[in-house]
């Protein structure tokens, strides 16, 4: 990751925001160090703004297609960050100079690139036959829900497509609390934090910003009460033979409070007051 840190530092310290050349170099490094250079078919940079206006791609910064093994990033959306968009409440809270602002924008772009590679890692976890972790079970549950496993021959094409449409509709309604998206966000935030730690004390403010972004994200979907986002996600999609209530109860009994919150599961009222409600 030192090569990526060098690119982040060199661009930001000179008040430069990542361009296509920088993004290409970063992705080359990420694919190589994660051994994805022979697993991801190819990268696509979409420039046309019309690609961002339809319902499937509107507002999207990047995508990883698990079926085709294609990594896509949307330059027009990333370019909007270069033009001083995507300012958040946290940005307003900290008094950033011009170089720190450049770091912040580049951190945002970098987090987007890390996020999509996390989806590739999730697919790798699912394919690992030796992995019996809760994380893998949750990824498998989500993938199997989206990719309907109906027996077309016995149930017929009509039943299959009705089920497919129903699952897609329900999934899209719950996309904001998707476990796969949650973990891709958290882990990509953590990657940025780890990079910033290597820059030393002169960059503590940037680290504090990124840590606050991560910490806020982890608890934000508990705002409606004790039932965490992942608990709601599984319940809303419906338990299946791939992931049952007993699976969940057994797995949760072995998780610490911090892990339950990180994964987005139900917590007690005392735990909510202690860890989340301020």
Q: Give per-residue pLDDT as tens, 165-218.
A: 888 899 999 999 999 999 999 999 999 999 999 988 888 999 999 999 999 899
Please report whether residue 25 resides in a domain.
yes
> Which of 146, 126, 152, 109 minimizes the C-alpha distance to 11?
109
Contacts of 205 (CB under 8 A, 6+ apart): 94, 96, 100
Q: What whole-number percentage of the chain has pLDDT above 70?
A: 85
SS3 state at 65: strand
Strand order in the sheet with 70-74: 42-46, 70-74, 62-65
Burial classification of residue 162, based on how many CB atoms lie within 10 Å of its CB (0-12 exposed, 13-18 middle, 19 or more buried):
middle
In this structure, are strands 62-65 and 42-46 parallel, antiparallel, or unpaired? Answer: unpaired
Please report whether residue 28 resides in a domain.
yes
Lowest mean pLDDT among 8-17, 70-79, 186-195, 210-219: 70-79
Please report whether residue 129 resides in a domain.
no
What does the pLDDT read at residue 161?
79
What does the pLDDT read at residue 136?
92
Most confident listed range (68-72, 251-255, 258-262): 258-262
SS3 state at 9: helix
Please report whether residue 8 resides in a domain.
yes
User: Across all residues in the chain, what is the average pLDDT?
Assistant: 83
What does the pLDDT read at residue 48?
53
Contacts of 255 (CB under 8 A, 6+ apart): 134, 263, 265
Average pLDDT over residues 54-83: 67
- Tens digits of residue pLDDT in 32-66: 888 876 667 667 776 654 443 443 444 567 777 77
What does the pLDDT read at residue 62?
78
Tokens 């294609």 — which residue?
70
Residue 7 has pLDDT above 80, yes or no: yes
Centroid of chain to Cα 262? 13
Please report whether residue 45 resides in a domain.
yes
Contacts of 101 (CB under 8 A, 6+ apart): none
Range of the domain at 24: 1-121
Please report whether residue 26 resides in a domain.
yes
Please report whether residue 214 resides in a domain.
no
Please report whether residue 107 resides in a domain.
yes
What does the pLDDT read at residue 39?
67
What does the pLDDT read at residue 53?
40
What does the pLDDT read at residue 56?
43
Burial classification of residue 145, based on how many CB atoms lie within 10 Å of its CB (0-12 exposed, 13-18 middle, 19 or more buried):
buried
* pLDDT band at residue 278 under the 50/70/90 scheme: low
The total domain count for the chain is 1
Task: Give dist(CA 183, CA 142) in Å, integer.
Answer: 13
Average pLDDT over residues 60-87: 71
Residue 6 token pair? 């060098």
């Amino acid at each position: 990751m030192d090569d990526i840190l060098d690119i982040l530092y060199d661009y930001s310290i000179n008040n430069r925001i990542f361009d296509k050349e920088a993004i290409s170099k970063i992705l080359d490094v990420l694919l190589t160090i994660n051994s994805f250079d022979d697993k991801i078919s190819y990268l696509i940079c979409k420039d046309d703004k019309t690609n961002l206006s339809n319902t499937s791609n509107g507002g999207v910064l990047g995508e990883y297609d698990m079926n085709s093994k294609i990594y896509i990033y949307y330059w027009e959306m990333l370019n909007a960050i270069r033009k001083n968009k995507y300012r958040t409440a946290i940005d307003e809270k900290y008094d950033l100079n011009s170089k720190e602002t450049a770091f912040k924008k580049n951190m945002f772009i970098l987090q987007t690139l890390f996020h999509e590679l996390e989806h590739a890692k999730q697919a790798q976890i699912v394919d690992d036959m030796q992995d019996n972790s809760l994380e893998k079970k949750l990824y498998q549950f989500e993938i199997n829900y989206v990719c309907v496993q109906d027996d077309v021959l016995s149930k017929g094409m009509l039943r299959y497509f009705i089920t497919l449409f129903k699952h897609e509709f329900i999934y899209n309604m719950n996309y904001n609390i998707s476990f796969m998206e949650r973990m891709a966000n958290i882990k990509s935030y953590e990657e940025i934090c780890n990079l910033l730690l290597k820059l030393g004390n002169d960059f503590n403010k940037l680290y504090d910003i990124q840590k606050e972004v991560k910490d806020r994200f982890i608890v934000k979907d508990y705002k409606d009460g004790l039932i965490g986002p992942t608990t709601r996600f599984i319940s809303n999609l419906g338990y299946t033979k791939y992931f049952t209530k007993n699976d969940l109860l057994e797995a949760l009994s072995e998780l610490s409070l911090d892990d339950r919150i990180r994964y987005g599961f139900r917590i007690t009222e005392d735990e909510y007051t202690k860890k989340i409600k301020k």
